[in-house]
Amino acid sequence: MNASDPVWKTICRLEDIPVLGARRVSRPVGMDVAVFRNEADQVFALLDRCPHKGGPLSQGIVFGSSVACPLHNWTIGLADGCAQGADSGCTPRFAVRIENGMVCLNAQELEQLALDAQAPLAGPAHQSC
Amino acid sequence: MRTLKDIPMNKPKLVMIGNGMAGVRTLEELFKLAPDMYDVTVFGAEPHPNYNRILLSPVLAGEQTLQDIVLNDWSWYEEHQITLHAGWTVTAVDRQRRIVHARNAQGDTCQTPYDRLLMATGSNPFILPIAGNTLEGVLAYRDIADTQAMIDAALTYQHAVVIGGGLLGLEAANGLMLRGMQVTVVHVLPNLMERQLDAIAGKMLQKSLEDRGLKFLMGAQTQALVGHQNEGQSGRVKAVQFKDGREIPADLVVMAVGIRPNTSLAQDMHLHCDRGIVVDDTMQTVTDARIYSVGECAAHRGVAYGLVAPLFEQAKVAANHLAQFGIGRYTGSLTSTKLKVTGIDLFSAGNFLGSASGRAEDANCEEIVMSDPSAGVYKKLVVQNDRLVGACLYGDTVDGSWYFKLLRDGRSVADIRDQLMFGESNIGDAGHEGHNKAAAMADSDEVCGCNGVTKGFICKAIKDKGLFTLDEVRKHTKASASCGSCTGLVEQILMFTAGGDYSATPKTKAMCGCTEHGHQAVRDAIVLHQLLTIPDVFKFMAWGTPNGCASCRPAINYYLISSWPKVAKDDPQSRFINERSHANIQKDGTYSVIPRMWGGETTADELRRIANAVDKYKIPTVKVTGGQRIDLLGVKKEDLQAVWKDIGMPSGHAYAKALRTVKTCVGSEWCRMGTQDSTQMGKDLERAMWRMYAPHKVKFAVSGCPRNCAESGIKDVGIIGVDSGWEMHIAGNGGIKTEVAHFFTKLKTAQEVLEYTGAFMQLYREEGWYLERTVHYVKRVGLDHVKRRILDDAEGRQALWERLQFSLDGEPDPWFEMNKAAVDTRQFDKLTIS
């Protein structure tokens, strides 16, 4: 295996993600990654942050190959991370691989992708900055 | 213009004849559903891309330019790989060999084969069959060329005569006057716009236009147009002659006496035509199923529509069938009209003539009229069998959209008849600075208080993006997309900006974009056909999408579990996150926890446990809610289960479309004024009905005396103790729309309060549409209906109450019985990278 080959990290079994649902994956650094499963057992991974106001997409309703953000109902395409319809903006996507029923994410992307994305703040934390 | 491209041979060919608004909208809808399905060719007789014909009047009036009104520029056609033949006229269609023959101005010809043909040939202006109708300077008012000719004429000539005092004629006359011409409108009938206005409103309109400088010749029959040369036979027009011998000077004559569906090609093709190309509910021609027709040329159930909104509905249905989805059905539209003359407010819809129409079926119409001639205001509402069937408004059209909604819904107006004339707008709507008249607002005024959208922003979006419907405006601007209380204002702005043709609507509102069915049809099917799962519903009702969307799935899930309690299984993935995690999501993705405090009473022990949990889980904010409970804000999702357990109090369902709080005052136990034990009554109500899912959230209140400290007047059910028992008020609301509850009945015992409240709740659970609060539900079905079912029918009432108790019996508390409540506890834990 040469150095440029991606290293895949096992995250969970396919069944650990509910059909038409999602799970959150925490990273040592950076915001969580949301992994989604649709009805056709396809798995998608996006930064858990809506391009609109940073809502956690993992908490949204999944339909077709889209998720509706739980905060303001923007519809985000799971394949490209981009807002659909009249809205615009994209959230970073992560490569997914399924091997023997296990869901794997790219180690390099987990370590390096979208580390500077800011989580939205609320309450006293919001006021102090 | 032809573009060369590589076409895979196996793609079916779609050819569209007519490059206007209805046809192009069909293509747009088709591309949304099936972008690559067809190889598309478009023939358009005009040498222009698709433009907004409705806005020709503002162009003529100098308020917009031709460039402003283009809807799809040349690049749109290229982007979608459409072969566009602009400036080509279709000369024949060979239906046997499926080939379209066309010719351009240079005499070149071409032949294009088709698999599907879309006829969108629109309509032609009607030209009076009188002498001189082909003279130079005699025009119709239909397209860009006509408009340009009128603009050019206004530069050199002085006298214009517009024949026809309808919508189009008046808009033409107004535009020509603004361009400096002296304009006379000739109308054969005694009143202007007789198809939209009654005699009084027509006269008011005429006076207002006369004040602006237009001249009118009413009841005048045009006999001939006279030219400059050859004894009046040729050259440019110079005068208009009438049957009574009068003659008036005219350098420009515009005929606006109506339009006729353009069916000449269809007739040559031997398609059945009767007032238009006859189509069925799928927009296919009755003669040839390969051929579709939409727009002004199509006759659906005997009607050829000339307004844009019905055409767009037709476009949707045609596209759905062209994409082989096969679920759309066009069942006709109701239309309303507004004149696009800046500064004149006029609205009409439905049967505005009432009994004056002279038709036998209108004989029992009643009219409610308000007339204030010197203020320039006239309103007429036509009521038949307790339903609003028509409206004609002049001078004050604020409530036009509300009346139109009442008309469309066909609901009984018996209970609001005395307020009907004063409109909806005098009832408090929060969030838009108290404005209720869009025309009077400045561009910088806020329309939508939820999303901070100003009037100017909405107007700009409507113009720039060519928006026509409320849904489109919502999508693009977010105005009225959140709480919806400014919907009426946004509709008014749409009317003013996009023109009055916008507001026709299908007779039933579809639940969402996934289906054509409305809420009632879906619920009826679930009950009647014993559908038990969401996939069953999708299959039975031929849903257009494989697993619905974020708006239909929660609704269907609710209809299933409320229609088939204990049988249908709840689907957590079809619930909004708050109901899936049993806590309220906050803007930073944390949650809030509100435990239940029966009737708003708590104990030192409970407060101690809450305080300990706040410390232990570092909960940043603790707040007392408006519903007499305590809100813990900023709880991490991972901590939710532990917080519930540590606090050890039942779920408050503050996150759910369910019974929330029962607010109480202290009542007769302590209060020196109290007449009843309101706290105990509140606790009993809450214990009887908590865990009750409903179409929307539900709030109760119980006050111990008429001072009403628990604010029972603005709750879904408000109980007020009086010396002799309890008063029950229903369908109040303290939110978006402050609405005082209706007095419902007076009851003697606490047991009766439970039974009547429970019965009303069950009725609402069975009949309310998802996300419809009791205030809107009761408005829709009428208070009389609720009274009949609960007050007049003792057996029915008890049955309702029993059904509610059956539904609630053994229902789990989701904070403690997670298995039974089908809570997927995996959601609380994060996955980690191994």
Letter for the amino acid at B183? V
User: Positive or negative, the Cα torsion across B1, B3, B8, B9?
Assistant: positive
Q: Which of B655, B826, B830, B834 has the most A C-beta neighbours within 10 Å, making it the best mutation to test the interface with A? A: B830
pTM of the model: 0.70
Q: Which of the pair, B361 or B118, is modelled with greater confidence?
A: B118
Measure CA of the first residue to CA of the last residue in chain A; give whole Å.
47
Give yes or no for residue B500 having a pLDDT over 70.
Answer: no
What confidence tens digit (pLDDT) does each residue in B685-742 have? Answer: 999 999 999 999 999 999 999 999 999 999 999 999 999 999 999 999 988 778 899 9
**Hey, is the C-beta of B577 within 8 angstroms of any chain A C-beta?**
yes
Check if the beta carbon of residue B801 is closer than 8 Å to that of residue B794: no
Q: Which of the pair, B145 or B496, is modelled with greater confidence?
A: B145
What confidence tens digit (pLDDT) does each residue in B295-332 have? Answer: 999 999 988 887 777 888 899 899 999 998 877 889 88
Residues of A with CB below 8 A from B576's CB? 61, 70
Residues of A with CB below 8 A from B634's CB? 122-123
- Find the CB nearest A9 among B475, B581, B833: B833
The SS3 call for residue B676 is coil
- Find the CB nearest B634 among A19, A63, A123: A123
Q: CA of A87: which chain B residue's CA is closest?
A: B476
Q: What is the β-pairing status of strands B387-394 and B346-350?
A: antiparallel
Measure CA of the first residue to CA of the last residue in chain B; give whole Å.
61
Which of B407, B484, B381 is closest to B775 using CA atoms? B484
Q: pLDDT value at position B341?
A: 66
Above pLDDT 70, what percent of chain B?
95
Name the H helices within B218-263. none
DSSP string, B297-333: TEEETTB---SHHHHHHHHHHHHHHHTT--------E
Q: What is the β-pairing status of strands B109-113 and B116-119?
A: unpaired
Task: Please give the domain boundaries of chain B with CATH numbers for all domains.
Answer: 13-123+261-331 (3.50.50.60), 138-257 (3.50.50.60), 519-575 (no CATH), 657-812 (3.30.413.10)
Question: B433: exposed, middle or buried (C-beta count within 10 Å: 0-12, 13-18, 19+)?
Answer: exposed
DSSP B741: P
Question: B399: exposed, middle or buried (C-beta count within 10 Å: 0-12, 13-18, 19+)?
Answer: buried
Count of all residues that appear for chain B in the document: 834
Per-residue pLDDT of chain A (129 residues; tens, 9 = 90+): 555 678 999 999 999 999 999 999 999 999 999 999 999 999 999 999 999 999 999 999 999 999 999 999 999 999 999 999 888 899 999 999 999 999 999 999 999 999 999 999 998 887 655
Question: How far A72 CA lies from chain B's nearest CA (Å)?
Answer: 8
Residues of A with CB below 8 A from B549's CB? 61, 63-64, 68, 75
Separation of alpha carbons B709 and B485, rounded Å: 27
**Hey, is the C-beta of B528 within 8 angstroms of any chain A C-beta?**
no
Token pair listed for B810: 């053994």
User: Positive or negative, the Cα torsion across B454, B458, B463, B465?
Assistant: positive
Letter for the amino acid at A6? P
DSSP run (H or E) holding B349: strand B346-350
The SS3 call for residue B92 is strand
DSSP string, B599-626: GG---HHHHHHHHHHHHHTT--EEEE-T
CATH (residue range A8-123): 2.102.10.10
Check if the beta carbon of residue B828 is closer than 8 Å to that of residue B638: yes
Question: How far A33 CA lies from chain B's nearest CA (Å)?
Answer: 10
Q: pLDDT value at position B486?
A: 78
Q: pLDDT value at position B4?
A: 45
CB contact under 8 A, B573 and A19: yes
Residue B503: pLDDT band (50, 70, 90) is: very low
Q: pLDDT value at position B2?
A: 45
Residue B196: pLDDT band (50, 70, 90) is: confident
Distances (CA, A) of B564 to A49, B380, B817: 37, 46, 21
Distances (CA, A) of B34 to B213, B467, B542, B543: 52, 22, 18, 16
- The chain-wide mean pLDDT, for chain B, equals 90
Residues of A with CB below 8 A from B546's CB? 39, 64
- Side-chain-side CA neighbours of residue B387 (13 Å): 15
Give yes or no for residue B192 having a pLDDT over 70.
Answer: yes
DSSP run (H or E) holding B818: none
DSSP string, chain A: --TTSPPEEEEEEGGGSPTTEEEEE--SSSS-EEEEE-TT--EEEEESS-TTT---GGGSEEETTEEE-TTT--EEETTT-BB-TT---B--EE-EEEETTEEEEEHHHHHHTTTTPPPP--HHHHHT-
Q: Which of B11-20, B376-385, B625-634, B816-825 has the lowest mean pLDDT?
A: B376-385
Letter for the amino acid at B418? D
Residue B125 region by backbone torsions, left for phi larger than 0, else alpha for psi between -120 and 50, else beta: beta
Separation of alpha carbons A118 and A110, rounded Å: 16
Residue B538: pLDDT band (50, 70, 90) is: very high
- Find the CB nearest B824 among A18, A119, A124: A18
Check if the beta carbon of residue B110 is closer than 8 Å to that of residue B15: no
Q: What is the β-pairing status of strands B222-229 and A8-13?
A: unpaired
Separation of alpha carbons B29 and B630, rounded Å: 49
Check if the beta carbon of residue A64 is closer than 8 Å to that of residue A76: no
Segment B478-498 mean pLDDT: 77
Q: pLDDT value at position B68?
A: 80
Residues of A with CB below 8 A from B830's CB? 23-26, 32
Token pair listed for B326: 């096969």
- Find the CB nearest B834 among A10, A28, A122: A10
For B235, phi then psi, to 5°, come to: 80, -160
CB contact under 8 A, B587 and A73: no
Q: How many residue contacts between A and B have a Cβ separation below 8 Å?
A: 118
Residues of B with CB below 8 A from A62's CB? 573
Q: Which residues contact B254 (CB under 8 A, 6 or more apart)?
A: B139, B140, B141, B150, B160, B161, B162, B163, B169, B172, B173, B176
Separation of alpha carbons A69 and A80, rounded Å: 15
Q: Which of B142-151, B154-163, B434-443, B705-714 has the lowest mean pLDDT?
A: B434-443
Q: What angle do CA B96, B100, B101 make, to 5 degrees?
A: 115
What confidence tens digit (pLDDT) does each residue in B592-650 have? Answer: 999 999 999 999 999 999 999 999 999 999 999 999 999 999 999 999 999 999 999 99
- Side-chain-side CA neighbours of residue B255 (13 Å): 23
Give yes or no for residue B230 having a pLDDT over 90.
Answer: no
Q: pLDDT value at position B349?
A: 85
Check if the beta carbon of residue A97 is closer than 8 Å to that of residue A8: yes
Give yes or no for residue B274 having a pLDDT over 50.
Answer: yes
The SS3 call for residue B210 is helix
CB contact under 8 A, A63 and B549: yes
Q: Which residues contact B24 (CB under 8 A, 6 or more apart)?
A: B42, B50, B71, B72
**Hey, is the C-beta of B582 within 8 angstroms of any chain A C-beta?**
no
Question: B456: exposed, middle or buried (C-beta count within 10 Å: 0-12, 13-18, 19+)?
Answer: middle
CB contact under 8 A, B833 and A25: yes
The answer for B 626-645 residues in CB contact with A (under 8 A) is 633-634
Q: pLDDT value at position B556?
A: 97
- Side-chain-side CA neighbours of residue B271 (13 Å): 32
CB contact under 8 A, A119 and B833: no
Q: Which residues contact B824 (CB under 8 A, 6 or more apart)?
A: A18, A21, B572, B580
Give yes or no for residue B782 having a pLDDT over 80.
Answer: yes
